[in-house]
A and B are shown apart, each in its own frame.
Chain A
């Protein structure tokens, strides 16, 4: 079934079911960029060199900007009068729908770069497809975000190459990070039941169609980095359906501290 509402911003054209599915999907995207932005912001003031401290904060800021647009849209889809902050600060870990990858700790710079690259490679290619979504709100958000994501991908790709083909120590660190984080990469392109429904409705990209481009870029970057990709690793999933690693709870404990301690106030 193909849905092409004449004006997708008029949310009423969606059936209650599609609207609900879309709400969960947008929430998933928002949670994802929030959690990764949050992780990057932990680096602020602690980066390996001042110039890269600025770079990571820039990426974090881009992701937070995207987060806000997405939550605002999600709140409209939900239609219960919640705000972006209600959605970010008042949901529990099991209600969060970010993939496991982005909640993984920063680790060393190699782990942060690897996590970022694996995400950027998906994020950028997915946003490019979202540009043509019949849902004009999502397409509009993607239009701004895709330019930022293109830069993020360039940045993280170059760092993967630098670390892989840098010193012996940097290669070892990158390999170690990759060996650990690779298991979380498959979830990005493994659709949940909710995503499948939206894919068959033609509202969001078919991940299978993204894979060739993603894999080509991945292969190119790691061959430049002279680091082999892991093979035959079991892929962990669950985050997009609310089953998380233990790390998310601690993120939320910090993230939501103020709103939970002082409920209902304006800051």
Chain B
């Protein structure tokens, strides 16, 4: 019975030109062509998209939550990477 289950795919949709594709959910499909069509039928019924990416779920590699501190905390103290860190005189425009 389980043999007939189609693989799982992750779906990413660009909601309008100029925006990034964003993960919207997943679905089952036998192949990539079908996955794109299913994504169209499932996730864009209300004009939610202009472009679709699908990737088979097993191909997504994710960071490990246990590494979260090591990965993401060091960036906490690098406020100098953000433009608001710098004082710009009021008289200077367009910066």
| Known contacts A49-B6, A158-B33; is-contact A55 B45 (Cβ 8 Å) | no
Q: Which of A50, A58, A154, A155 is within 8 Å of B45, CB to CB?
A: A58
Identify which of residues 195-213 in chain A touch chain B, using a CB-to-CB cut-off of 8 Å: none
A54 and B6: CB pair below 8 A?
Answer: no
Minimum CB–CB distance for A60 against chain B, Å: 12
Q: Which of A51, A155, A162 is within 8 Å of B28, CB to CB?
A: A51
Q: CB-CB < 8 A to B41: which residues of A?
A: 51, 54-55, 58
Chain B interface residue count: which class? Answer: 10 to 19
Q: Which of A50, A58, A158 is within 8 Å of B34, CB to CB?
A: A158
A51 and B45: CB pair below 8 A?
Answer: no
Q: CB-CB < 8 A to B38: which residues of A?
A: 51-52, 54-55
**A151 CA to B40 CA in the complex, in Å?**
10
Q: CB-CB < 8 A to B33: which residues of A?
A: 158
Q: CB-CB < 8 A to A158: which residues of B?
A: 33-34, 37
A162 and B30: CB pair below 8 A?
Answer: yes
- Residues 21-35 of B, flagged 1 when their CB comes within 8 A of A and 0 if not, give 000000111100110
Q: CB-CB < 8 A to B40: which residues of A?
A: 151
**A58 CA to B41 CA in the complex, in Å?**
7
Minimum CB–CB distance for A149 against chain B, Å: 15
A55 and B37: CB pair below 8 A?
Answer: yes
The answer to whether the Cβ of B42 comes within 8 Å of any Cβ in the partner chain is yes
- Residues 132-173 of A, flagged 1 when their CB comes within 8 A of B and 0 if not, give 000000000000000000010011001000100000000000
A155 and B42: CB pair below 8 A?
Answer: no
19 cross-chain CB contacts under 8 A: A49-B6, A50-B28, A51-B27, A51-B28, A51-B29, A51-B34, A51-B38, A51-B41, A51-B42, A52-B38, A54-B38, A54-B45, A55-B41, A58-B41, A151-B40, A154-B37, A158-B33, A158-B37, A162-B30
The interface of chain A, by Cβ under 8 A from chain B, is 49-52, 54-55, 58, 151, 154-155, 158, 162
Given contacts A55-B41, A58-B45, A158-B33, 12 further A-B contacts (CB under 8 A): A49-B6, A50-B28, A51-B27, A51-B28, A51-B41, A51-B42, A52-B38, A54-B45, A155-B37, A158-B34, A158-B37, A162-B30
